[in-house]
Amino acid sequence: MERKNIICPFCGCLCDDVYVDVEEDKIVQIFNGCILCKAKLSSGERVKEALVRVDGELVPSSYEDAVESAAKILVESSMPVLYGWSNTSCETISQGIRLTEKIRGVIDNTSSVCHGPSLLGIHETGLPTCTLGEVKNRSDLIIYWGCNPVHAHPRHMSRYTLMPRGYFRRNGLMERELIVVDVRSTDTSKLADQFIKIEPGCDYELFSALRAALRGHTVPDVAGIKSKTITELSLKLKNAKFGALFFGVGLTMSGAKHRNVENAIALTRDLNQFTRFVIMPMRGHYNVDGVNQVLTWQTGYPYGVDFSRGFPRYNPGEYCANDLLASGSADSALIIASDPAAHFPRESLEALKKIPVISIDPFKSLTSLISDVIFPSAITGIEASGTAYRMDCVPITLRKVVDSGYKTDKEIISDILNKVVELQHGSKV
Ligand code: SF4
């Protein structure tokens, strides 16, 4: 029996204090992980072998034949979409960008359906932020706006924000205040010192009112919140020693979307005239920040990047996976480390069902049901090593804990890339 400390490859917290007992390359016990971590490390129906659809039926195939089928689909497409990437390593993503460039396709990630508007807001105003370590050591006021970490990031409050003892917050929870802003009561709001229930779609107005109140203006009732409460809240924010505002898709996907985020950042920037205040998106998939980082280094843009003209172009709303599927432009798809069939709108799903789909995933999913080529892969962070970015943009090395015998995502993408180049030019890269 062996015990190793590992990084949990589930959510953007990337908790690095999880322990597991390993017996004969199997995880038999998990310590420190939350319920989501335990579910990821111990369950899920695996894809056991490569499968290729022949005459409408998925049949077992050799790995080499599956690679050839996938490469042929991509080479013969005029607008292939390569989507997912948020649950795999930065090294795999880097190879994926090279593959997209070779086939003149579009590479998009799950940001386009979650924190894409955050990235657009950040393009406009920048991001006054810090690491989660700084929040832990310094913050005395925590705000969760449009998110429910008790369920989505179960250890966020205990490891980084509300509860831990920090260098300048020796008494942890006793020295911090929690404010939750949401449209409904949640398990997170039940823990809050103050819960502000706003009318749906009115976040932008409330940020504007808070900014006006900060400047000493009298504000009316806004977003269902009384004028007095807004004024008191603005004073509370102003008087904090170190405040941290965390926001989720409740903010990015409602009302003014990226303008909400822009205004939230503007409020944070305004607060820095009086005190120290930071803001951070609550990233969901464990490496969704990594895919934004790697895409930005290599192409200049964080998601929805189109290589159809041989150079990267960026126009969210036009080159994202959903846009291309809904408009009928995409004529093949490679899906890696995500399950769009379970999450995309119906019209995108209908379009996905009509085109050849290649999927790379350790587990069976709804997307694998409609795929034409399926590759089983090792679980990055458990069965394969790699790099991932925590939600505060800190890169963390994921270690391999057990040996599964499956190919890694990076190996599969590299093999498809080699085969694509061979088909295009008769030589390997
Ligand atoms: S909070 Fe997230 S990273 Fe931490 S153990 Fe739970 S699922 Fe894993």
Query: In terms of Cα–Cα distance, which of 330, 327, 303 is closest to 316?
Result: 303
Q: How many domains does the chain have?
A: 2
Residue 34 lies in a domain: no
Q: Is the same domain home to 240 and 127?
A: yes
pLDDT of residue 425: 86
Q: Are strands 57-60 and 51-54 parallel, antiparallel or unpaired?
A: antiparallel
325 and 232 in a common domain = no
Where do the DSSP E strands lie in 307-353? Answer: 313-314, 332-336
Last residue of a domain, one of 232, 264, 281: 281
What is the model's pLDDT at position 426?
75
Q: Which of 281, 297, 317 is the last residue of a domain?
A: 281
User: Rounded to a whole number, what is the distance in angstroms from the first to the last CA of the chain?
Assistant: 42
Tell me how far apart the alpha carbons of residues 135 and 237 are, in angstroms, rounded to a whole number.
15
Please indicate whether residue 160, judged by its CB atom, sits closer than 6 Å to ligand 1: no
Ligand 1 centroid to Cα of residue 200, in Å, is 29
Contact 250, 145 (CB under 8 A): yes
pLDDT of residue 24: 85
Kindly state whether residues 290 and 379 are assigned to the same domain.
yes
What is the residue with the minimal CA distance to atom 5 of ligand 1? Answer: 33
- The pLDDT, as a whole number, for residue 271 is 98
Q: If the chain, 429 residues long, is cut into consecutive pieces of 10 residues, what is the mean pLDDT of each piece?
A: 80 94 87 90 84 95 97 97 97 98 97 92 94 98 98 97 96 97 97 97 97 97 97 97 97 92 97 97 96 97 97 95 95 95 93 96 93 96 96 95 94 98 80
Residue 68 lies in a domain: yes
Given 260, 281, 302, the domain boundary residue is 281
Q: Which structural domain, as residue segments, surrounds residue 261? A: 116-281
| CATH code of the domain in which 205 resides | 3.40.228.10
Are residue 241 and residue 228 in the same domain, yes or no? yes
Residues 6 or more apart whose CB falls under 8 angstroms from that of 143 comprise 178, 179, 180, 181, 243, 244, 245, 246
Decide: 14 in ligand 1 pocket, CB within 6 A: yes
Q: How far apart are CA 42 and CA 165, in angstroms?
A: 31
Per the DSSP assignment, residues forming a β-bridge with 106 are 81, 306
Nearest residue (CA) to ligand 1, atom 3: 14
State whether the beta carbon of 152 lies less than 6 angstroms from ligand 1. no
Indicate whether 266 and 336 sit together in one domain. Answer: no
Answer whether residue 416 is part of any domain: yes
Mutate to test the pocket of ligand 1, among 16, 35, 37, 148 (most ligand atoms within 8 A of CB): 37
Rounded Cα gap, residues 233 and 238, in angstroms:
9
Same domain, yes or no: 221 and 241: yes
pTM: predicted TM-score of the whole model, two decimal places: 0.94
Same domain for 94 and 128?
Answer: no
Residue 2 has a pLDDT of 66
